[in-house]
């Protein structure tokens, strides 16, 4: 009994390789987009609320911080430019960022979730 061996192509053809690469690229991109979407939709619930005054500090080239009425200094990472006014009274809902550090070492680093301008005290 004679066995016949068919010529088998153990490597995928070029079109099969292209399809495989395209499929992998699509799956990788889809996973990456889902991760970005999940991160962007993460709940941004504030840890605390504070009222205070926006102040300009001359440290390290200058920056705006918030001096809380409780005496605590807050260093926001995302203070909107519209609030960059020395002496501006604000109410802030924010999250403390425990895993952040700053070369300024001026106050508690926070991420503002909500900010509202308050009337000036007389």
DSSP codes joined into one string, 19-42:
HHHHHHHHHHHHHHHHHHHHHHTS
pTM score, whole prediction? 0.63
69 has pLDDT over 60: yes
- Count CB-CB contacts under 10 A for residue 110: 25
Q: Which is it for the CA torsion 53, 113, 84, 97, positive or negative?
A: positive
Region 65-78 average pLDDT: 95
**Residue 70 DSSP code:** T
Region 89-109 average pLDDT: 90
Read off the pLDDT band of 13 (50, 70, 90): low
Reduce the DSSP state of residue 15 to 3 states and report it: helix
CA 58, CA 20: separation in Å to the nearest integer? 57
Residue 33 confidence (pLDDT):
77
Read off the pLDDT band of 81 (50, 70, 90): very high
Long-range contacts of 79-82 (CB under 8 A, 24+ apart): 79/54, 79/112, 79/115, 80/112, 80/115
Q: Which residue has the higher pLDDT, 1 or 84?
A: 84
Q: Which residue has the higher pLDDT, 121 or 9?
A: 121
Q: Which residue has the higher pLDDT, 45 or 91?
A: 91
Q: Among 14-23, 64-73, 100-109, where is mean pLDDT lowest? A: 14-23
pLDDT tens-digit readout, 20-65: 778 888 888 887 777 777 665 556 788 899 999 999 999 878 999 9
Reduce the DSSP state of residue 83 to 3 states and report it: helix
Q: Are strands 73-76 and 108-117 parallel, antiparallel or unpaired?
A: parallel
């Amino acid at each position: 009994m004679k066995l016949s061996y068919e010529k088998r192509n153990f490597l995928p053809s070029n079109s099969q390789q292209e399809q495989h690469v395209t499929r992998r690229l699509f799956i990788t991109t889809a996973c990456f987009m889902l991760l970005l979407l999940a991160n962007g939709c993460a709940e941004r619930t504030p840890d605390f609320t504070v009222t205070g005054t926006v102040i300009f500090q001359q440290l390290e080239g200058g920056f705006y911080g918030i001096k809380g009425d409780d005496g605590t200094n807050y260093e926001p990472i995302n203070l909107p430019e519209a609030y960059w006014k020395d002496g501006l009274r604000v109410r802030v809902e924010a999250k403390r960022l425990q895993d952040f550090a700053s070369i300024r070492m001026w106050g508690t680093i926070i991420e503002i979730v909500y900010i509202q301008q308050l009337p000036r005290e007389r």
